[in-house]
Amino acid sequence: MHVEYATKRLLPLVAICAVVSAPLQAAEVRVVATTSDVAAVFQRVGGERVEVTTLAKGYMDPHYLQAKPSYIVSLRRADILAYNGLQLEIGWLPLILQGARNNKINLGQPGHVPMSVRLDILEIPIGEVSRAQGDVHPEGNPHYTLDPRNLIEMASTAEAALVRVDPEGGSIYAGNRAAFVTQLQEQIPIWERKLAPYRGRPIVCYHKQWEYLLNWLELVPIDYVENRPGIPPSPRHVEELERRMREQGVPILLSSTFIDSDQLERLSEKTGAKLLVLPAAVGAEEELDEPVAFFAHLVEELAAAFADGSSD
């Protein structure tokens, strides 16, 4: 009688537990990536053997993500935490990593994967670093995923991490990485040729986030609207910038989709520079959900903006 009673009441409970814990039995390797760029690299290398969860979607500003406790749920189940690093996620990742209490992804463990390790980092501050300079990143500019050549190295980092936690998938990961790298190596020269006519052209950017892209394409950022990172610009700086842009005939004012563009539209009108608002990460727009499509879009948009500027 008691057994029957208990069974009747426990079965629904067991069923509910099975439903809520269903995601726990999905892929071979569960990867949590802090940004959509990192996620995209792991998805390409891991293929169907991995389940990738992205915290900062492509249309979100990864500097300012909120440390939602629900992210802890994702990290709690993760085999790998892959992050951009260089203090991009410093305002939120430490809290959720601590809250997850998942030793597989703690610092020093095989599942703890900073993606910047093999890369040449730009703008590492020399000498004293102070907050008087704004919200500077003392380890260098963290927006390295905007150079497609860096994705080649990131793919190697991803493959090494996946092999560490899932050695059986090694040959699959090697094959996926090779295919991804080949595709990038084929496309990069095409993209470079497309923008070659505009090498050395000046550009003004809103935030210091396009350096890797501009460095790759040999375009020259002459100044920034946000002259101190993370700090809204003063009217005096904007006025001075407006004068310089007119004097130098800057053709493009470059910003990203997560920046308010009201002020930039006014600056564009006053200077004649074309306001180009680009997605700053894979997945910022629905059709740009993988790296090759994303970089192709950036190149097309830049080329069109320069062509517009030349014809004016």
Binding site for other proteins (CB under 8 A): 20-24, 57, 59-61, 64-70, 72-73, 76-77, 87, 90-95, 98-103, 106-108, 131, 134-135, 230-232, 257-258, 260
CB 78 within 8 A of CB 102: yes
Shortest Å, Cβ 91 to other proteins:
5
Which of 231, 307 has the CB closer to other proteins? 231
Which helix or strand (DSSP H or E) is residue 108 part of? none
Pairing of strands 80-83, 112-114: parallel
Q: Which two tokens stand for residue 47?
A: 């293929």
Shortest Å, Cβ 116 to other proteins:
17
Shortest Å, Cβ 178 to other proteins:
35
Three-state SS string across 231-290, please?
A: ECCCHHHHHHHHHHHHHHCCCEEEEECCCCCHHHHHHHHHHCCEEEEECCCCCCCCCCCC
Shortest Å, Cβ 234 to other proteins:
11
Which of 134, 170 has the CB closer to other proteins? 134
Which of 14, 24 has the CB closer to other proteins? 24
Which of 60, 115 has the CB closer to other proteins? 60
For residue 278, what are the CA distances in angstroms to 39, 58, 146, 207, 258? Answer: 20, 11, 11, 12, 9
Q: 196: exposed, middle or buried (C-beta count within 10 Å: 0-12, 13-18, 19+)?
A: exposed
Which of 156, 257 has the CB closer to other proteins? 257
Amino acid at 57: K
Report the distance separating Cα 54 and Cα 58, nearest Å.
9
Which of 192, 289 has the CB closer to other proteins? 289
Shortest Å, Cβ 86 to other proteins:
12
Report the distance separating Cα 60 and Cα 279, nearest Å.
10
Across the strands, what pairs with 228?
A: 231
CB 185 within 8 A of CB 205: no
Shortest Å, Cβ 13 to other proteins:
13
Shortest Å, Cβ 76 to other proteins:
6
Which of 94, 249 has the CB closer to other proteins? 94
